Amino acid sequence: MVHPVALIGIMVLGQQAAKITVLDGEPRQGQVIRLDDDELLILEGGAEQRIPLRQILEIRFPTDPPGEVPSIGLLLTDGSVISTDQVEVSLQKVRAQSPWYGEFEFDQQTLAGIRFQFAPASLDDDWSQLAKREREQDLLVLPKEVGDGLDFTPGLIESVSNGRVSCLLGNDAVDVPVESLYGILYSHSGATTGSRVAVGVNDLLMAQRIRVTETVVEVRTSAGIDLRIPRQFISSIDFSGDQILYLSDIEPSQYEFTPFLDRETEELLFRFRRNMTMDGTPLRLGDRKYTRGLWIHSKTRLRYRIGRDWRRFRAVMGIDYEMARRGRGSVGVRITGDGRTLLESFVGSQDAPQELDLDVSGIRDLEFIVDFGGDTGISDWLDLADARVIK
C-alpha cells in the first residue's frame, strides 16, 4: 500500500516547479500540491513545505500553450475577462461555452459587455476606455465608418442568440448581426475587486475564492460565478491586491509644487508622474527598469491617505538613470507619517539606489517632500520605484 503523502509526491513529480513570490523573504520554487483558504502546500527540495496564504503575493505556473483562442470575449462587472466560443444572453441569464471552462451560466446583471471583434489591435485602447465609462444606457459598439476608432449607438439590448443581437433603438425593435458589431456594452456597473487569476492568453478572473489541486483550479469570481479550469491553462494567481497597494495606482490626497524659477513652465514639465519619467521613458535605477513607481521632481510635496491598515512602506529610491549617467541631479528627501519623520536623506546622482523599508503601522497620512539639492533643480529626477505599502 502506497502512503498518501508518497502518492501525492508521485503525482507532482512530473510537474514543473511554480514560482512563488512572498511578502517577506526570498522567492520560493516548488511543485504545487494544494492551495486552500489558509495555505499553499508545495513540494520543495523533495520535502513538503507550507506557506500561509496571507504571506503570498503571486504564484506563477508553467503553462502549456493553449490551442485556438476562443473568438468572443465577455466582460463582467467585477472586471473579469472571459473568452468563449459561444454565448447566448436573455434578460435573465447568460449561457456560454469555452474550451477552458466548459459550459457555464450566470446572472445577466453581472455581464458588463461582449466583444465580438479583436482586430485591428489598434482599437484595443478605444474599447478599454469605452468600457470604463459610466453608462446610463446599453451601447452597440461598431467601428467608425470614416477614420479610425469606435462609435456607438445607445439602446436597450434584449438578447444575444443565433449570431444576432436583438435590441430596442428608440421605439424600433432591431436585430443586428454580430459580425457588423465590434461589441456591446451594458449599463451594469461594478467594482474591480479580488485576487487575479490569469488564464490562457488574455483571460483574467477577479476571484473572491481560489482552490488548487494537482489538476484543477476552482475559482469563484467576485461576481459569484463558479468555474473549474484545468491547471495547465493557468499562468498566474496574483494575491497582491489584498496585501499590497502601489502608490502609483491611487491619487494623492494633496499635491503641491514649488518651482525654482518659472511656475507656469515648470509646473507643466515637472509635475509628478506615475510609472514613467517626464519624457515618457520607464523608471530606471542603475541597470534595472521598473514598470511601477513615482517620478518626482523638486520641489514637490505629495501626501497619500493610506488609512491605518498597512505595516510597511517599501521602495527603491535614487536619481533616475537618465540624469545619473550624466552626473546630474540631487535632492533632499523627507518622508513623514502623520507628521512624524520616518526618513530624511540626501540623494545624489553618484549614490547607489537605496532600498527603503519603513514602518507605517497605524499611520493614516504618508507624505513625501522632495526638496532642491545642490544645483538649479532642472535635473532633479527622483525615482521611488515600486513604491508600495504592505499589510
Predicted local confidence at residue 33, as pLDDT: 94
In whole angstroms, what is the distance from residue 154 CA to residue 130 CA? Answer: 13
**Domains in the chain, start-ordered, CATH in brackets?**
4-60 (2.30.30.100), 72-194 (no CATH), 245-390 (2.60.120.1060)
The pLDDT profile of the chain, 391 residues, written as one tens digit per residue, is: 433 444 344 344 446 789 998 877 678 999 999 999 999 999 998 899 999 988 888 999 887 656 677 889 999 999 899 999 999 999 999 999 998 899 999 999 999 999 999 877 788 888 988 888 888 899 999 998 887 889 999 999 999 999 999 999 989 999 999 999 999 999 987 777 788 999 988 899 999 999 999 889 999 998 899 999 999 899 999 988 767 888 998 889 999 998 876 666 677 778 899 999 988 889 999 999 888 899 999 999 999 999 888 999 999 999 999 999 999 999 999 999 999 999 999 999 999 999 999 999 999 999 999 998 876 667 899 999 999 998 8
Residue 15's pLDDT is what?
Answer: 62
> Is the CB of residue 82 less than 8 Å from the CB of residue 68?
no
Q: Burial, 14: exposed, middle or buried (Cβ in 10 Å; 0-12, 13-18, 19+)? A: exposed
* Amino acid of residue 270: F
pLDDT attached to residue 71: 87
CA distance 359 to 371: 22
367, 294 Cβ separation under 8 angstroms? no
Element of type H or E holding 342 = strand 340-348
148 close to 131: Cβ distance less than 8 angstroms:
no
DSSP 193-258: -SEEEEETTTEEEEEEEEEE-SSEEEEEETTS-EEEEEGGGEEEEE-HHHHEEEGGGS--SEEEE-
Q: Do 145 and 185 contact (CB within 8 A), yes or no?
A: no
- Cα(323)–Cα(378) distance, rounded to whole angstroms? 10
Q: How far is CA 37 from CA 31, 206, 211, in A?
A: 18, 16, 7
C-alpha distances (whole Å) from 109 to each of 61, 94, 181, 185, 249 are: 32, 9, 21, 12, 28
Beta bridge partners of 171: none
pLDDT of residue 188: 82
Q: What is the pLDDT of residue 167?
A: 95
Task: State how far the Cα of 89 lies from the Cα of 165, in Å rounded to an integer.
Answer: 9
The whole-number pLDDT of residue 163 equals 93
For residue 10, the model assigns a pLDDT of 37
Alpha carbon 273 to its chain centroid, in Å, reads 18
Q: Report long-range pairs for 46-50 (Cβ below 8 Å, ≥24 apart).
A: 48/5
- For the whole model, what pTM was predicted? 0.66
What are 270's three cell numbers? 515637472
Give residue 263's pLDDT. Answer: 66
Which residues lie closer than 8 Å to 25 by C-beta, 6 or more apart?
A: none
Count CA atoms within 13 Å of residue 180 on its CB side: 9
Write out the three cell numbers for 173.
425593435
Specify the 3-state DSSP secondary structure of 161: strand
